[in-house]
């Protein structure tokens, strides 16, 4: 847990991956198995429902979910 708590400092660059097959946006945290995810579902031809975001306890309160939401919103606006 100590390593996870230190994982994201002010100099960390957060990279978000879009996994279209699994319908999720993912941030791999500190190169570990920990990941933050945003899940979505298509509910119509041009309608998408954001299901939820999930951030591991050790990383909560650091604004990670907003790093998932921003690229999701940009992607959603293009569909």
Would you state the structure tokens that stand for residue 10, as one six-digit string?
């002010």
Distance CA 71, CA 26 (A): 11
Note the pLDDT of residue 38: 98
Tell me what percent of the residues of the chain surpass a pLDDT of 90: 72
> What order do you get walking across the sheet with 24-28 strand by strand?
16-19, 24-28, 35-42, 48-54
Query: What is the mean pLDDT of the segment spanning 6-15?
Result: 63
User: What is the set of domains in the chain, with CATH numbers?
Assistant: 2-78 (3.40.630.30)
Mean pLDDT (whole number) for 46-57: 95
């Amino acid at each position: 847990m100590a390593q996870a708590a230190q994982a994201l400092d002010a100099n960390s660059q957060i990279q978000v991956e879009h996994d279209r097959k699994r319908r999720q946006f993912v941030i791999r945290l500190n190169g570990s198995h920990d990941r933050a995810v945003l899940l979505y579902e298509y509910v119509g031809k041009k309608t998408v429902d954001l299901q939820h975001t999930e951030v591991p306890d050790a990383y909560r309160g650091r604004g990670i979910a907003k790093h998932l939401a921003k690229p999701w919103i940009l992607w959603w606006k293009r569909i």
